[in-house]
Structure 1
Amino acid sequence: MKSESLSITAASPVALLPRLAVLGAVVLWGASFSTMRIALQDLHPLSVMWLRMIIALTCILPLYRTVSLSAYRKGDWKLLLAAVIFQPCLYFWLESAALGLTTSAQAGIISASVPLLVAVAAWMILKEPMSTRITAGLLLSVAGVAVLTLGGQATESAPSPLLGNSMEFLAMVCAAANMILIRILGRRYDAWTLTVMQVVTGCLFFSPGIAHLMEVPAGTFDLQLVLILVFLGAGVTLGAFSLYNWAITRMPASTASAHINLIPVVAVGCGFAVLGETMNPLQMAAACVVLFSVLMTQKF
């Protein structure tokens, strides 16, 4: 991270661009929960993820000359490997499996725990101080996620909310770890190069999904499914990650992750509007606790 970027005032147009980039990524991620659930109705999770990655890779290929590893330093492979394993590999594997077991609204609410997890990861890895307020917020958030998960009842659209929500929370742990690593790597590598690494690794990791595609009945790929896959691949996998990776190299990790608080709003809204999802009163109360726990850790 360049020191000049930290000295720019919040009102500066240059400082505004990273925030707009994060907001764009958040909207795309929030909308991806419901669209991913629609895709999972027809395709195996590994197939959906491989198609997302291959679509993103196809968009990248014409721009491959912009990828540069000239900043590589001895030993960086350990950080780079860990970053791409956490996300997209483990993160998307856990989340795609979770969305077949729980609702997109509940998964979106759980994503609100990312800023708090980032704070813990920064405390453990970067030795950044963690205040009592953040610690209390983290404990409250974990309690809210637990109630949200245990309060879920199995339905046709969410056959195992307990397992699904647990996997979604583990996905958020992977996302938080990746954000810290990208923040460290972003000091030397440009955002585009890091995004390309994630997409290429994802194509390889989710390649077993090709076998499941061979079993898909003819006529499955209608216009709606194709458009959803293009949105998930080009818009979310490539677009959202490019925007976020670019922004997080130009602003503190805690500031960037705080914008993720908006993902549940978008996810719940899309879940209600597109899929007609609902939550019982206990889960709604737990969702409010999770959002409040995140809000109490933010400075205004």
Structure 2
Amino acid sequence: MSKAIAMTKKHETEVLPTLAILGAVLLWGSSFPAMKAVLAYLEPWTVMWLRLIFGSLALLPMLGRVLPRKTTRANWKLLAPLALLQPCLYFLLESYALKYTTSAQAGIIAATLPIMVAVGARVFLAETTTLRAYAGLLLSVGGVAWLTLAGSPSANAPNPALGNLLEFGAMVCAAGYMLLVKRLSDTFGPWTLTAIQTFIGAVFFLPGLWPLVTNMPEGLGTVLPVVVYLGTFVTLGAFGLYNIGIARIPASRASAFINLVPVVAVAVAWVFLGETLSPTQMLAAALIFLGVWVTQKSGNRG
């Protein structure tokens, strides 16, 4: 009886973190068609700077609550790399990766992220990851590869080898970010970590202001509401929600949800942009859901 009660309590304590991560996944998935619309008017550096500036402005009313009052040098040795990895290097590497390789190849490489995190969590955080969890991760990776290859082909890949290398580097940065969040969550709240990432990222992408100063693009007002959405909901909201979730459940399980992002992106494009969704893509999405479900039922622990 006591074991059943303990399992019930554990399940209840994981519901809110899981919902937070799913909320982050929905927001990240919705960002793809939004970014596609914005990038027709603005350069990637400018878009990222605007996103992080609007995110920073949204944080201002909560500044006294989210900023740490005392931070040791030892903490900054982890906080600074956290912000450098995500959003700085991650967005920089992925933006340029997509200039050189196809979105299909980039999507397949991105699907390896949960496996990187699972291995990293075992080595650096002493998390136990079961064979069933690894099987679930491999299922979701296969689903992402299938979903990506089932999409429309693109010939816009001038240097696939370089692009794929940059995308792999972006995934290494994302994995490092997740492991650092898990490590720092014992000391800092999720919104404190999110605020530090946002403020440092805004400074890092400051060169993106220059095109706005020298040559204000036409049609900026048209996409400005979309940029505000990307900054406040996607950049700030999604990071905050994901940081809440990964602080409370094992990093390997939290990262498994990332493979749902392309599913959400395809669904949003299908509903709002009228893009096609083939039966093959539906089957691939189902395989991803199955893989994530198997991972969550694996019983791995942090």
| Fold-level similarity (TM above 0.5) | yes
User: Which residue in the other structure is 1:72 paired with?
Assistant: 71
The secondary structure found in structure 1 opposite 2:112 is: helix
CA distance in 1, matches of 2:108, 2:277: 11
1:259 shift after superposition: 2.1
Q: 1:234 aligns with which of 232, 248, 252?
A: 232
Matches of 2:48 and 2:11, distance apart in 1: 39
The aligned residue for residue 197 of structure 1 is 196
The offset of 1:187, in angstroms, is: 0.2
1:105/1:267 contact within 8 Å kept: no
Aligned to 1:116: 115
How many angstroms does 1:65 deviate by? 0.6
The change in CA–CA distance for 1:203 and 1:106 in structure 2 (over 3 A counts) is same
TM-aligned CA deviation for residue 221 of structure 1: 0.8
User: How many Å apart are 1:90 and its aligned residue?
Assistant: 0.7
Report the counterpart of residue 82 of structure 1 in structure 2: 81
What are the equivalent positions in structure 2 for 1:2-13 lying under 5 Å apart? 9-12=9-12
Counterpart of 1:298 (choices 287, 295, 298) is 295
1:219 aligned counterpart, secondary structure: coil
Identical pairs, percent: 44
Structure 1 CA distance for aligned equivalents of residues 274 and 158 of structure 2? 18
Structure 2 partner of 1:221: 220
Structure 1 segment 168-207 matched on structure 2, within 5 A:
168-207=167-206
Provide the C-alpha distance between the structure 1 equivalents of 2:229 and 2:101, rounded to a whole number of angstroms: 22
The TM-score, its normalising length taken from structure 2, stands at: 0.78
Is the contact between residue 183 and residue 248 of structure 1 (CA under 8 Å) also seen in structure 2? yes
Give the structure with the larger helix fraction: 2
What does residue range 54-65 of structure 1 map to in structure 2 within 5 Å? 54-65=53-64
1:92 deviation in Å?
Answer: 1.3
Distance in 2, matches of 1:194 and 1:292, equals 29
Worse overlay, 195-204 or 100-109: 100-109
Question: For 1:145-166, what per-residue CA distance to the aligned partner results, in whole angstroms no more than 9, with x for missing partners?
Answer: 69x69x99544xx445835454
Find the aligned partners of 1:8 and 1:136 in 2 and give their Cα distance: 25
Q: In the aligned structure 1, how far is the partner of 2:291 from the partner of 2:109?
A: 11
Q: Does the CA contact (< 8 Å) of 2:260 and 2:288 recur in 1? A: no
- Cα distance, 1:66–1:292 mapped onto 2, change above 3 Å: closer
Aligned to 1:259: 257
TM-score scaled by structure 1? Answer: 0.78
Change (3 A) 1:297 1:173: farther
3-state SS in 2 of match to 1:298:
helix
* 1:109-137 deviation line (CA, Å, top 9, x unaligned): 65433221110211332244555566677
Alpha-carbon distance in structure 1 between the residues aligned to 2:217 and 2:211: 13
- Please provide the CA RMSD for this pair: 3.9
Q: CA offset at residue 172 of structure 1?
A: 2.2
Residues 25, 243 of structure 1: 8 Å contact kept: yes
Give, in whole Å, the separation in 1 of the partners of 2:227 and 2:159. 25
List per-residue Cα deviations over 1:44-68 (Å, max 9, x = no partner): 1100000000010111112111124
1:232–1:98 distance in 2 versus 1, CA, 3 Å: farther
**Pair 1:103–1:42, CA change in 2 (3 A):** farther
Structure 1 window deviating more from structure 2 (131-140 vs 35-44): it is 131-140
Contact 2:256–2:292 (8 Å) recurs in 1:
no
- C-alpha distance in structure 2 between counterparts of 1:124 and 1:160, whole Å: 37
Query: Residue in 2 aligned with 1:249?
Result: 247
Aligned equivalents of 1:269 and 1:165: distance in 2?
Answer: 25
Matched letter for residue 268 of structure 1: V
Shift of the 231–131 alpha-carbon distance from structure 1 to 2, 3 Å rule, reads: same
Q: CA deviation at 1:9?
A: 2.3
Amino acid of the residue matched to residue 220 of structure 2? F
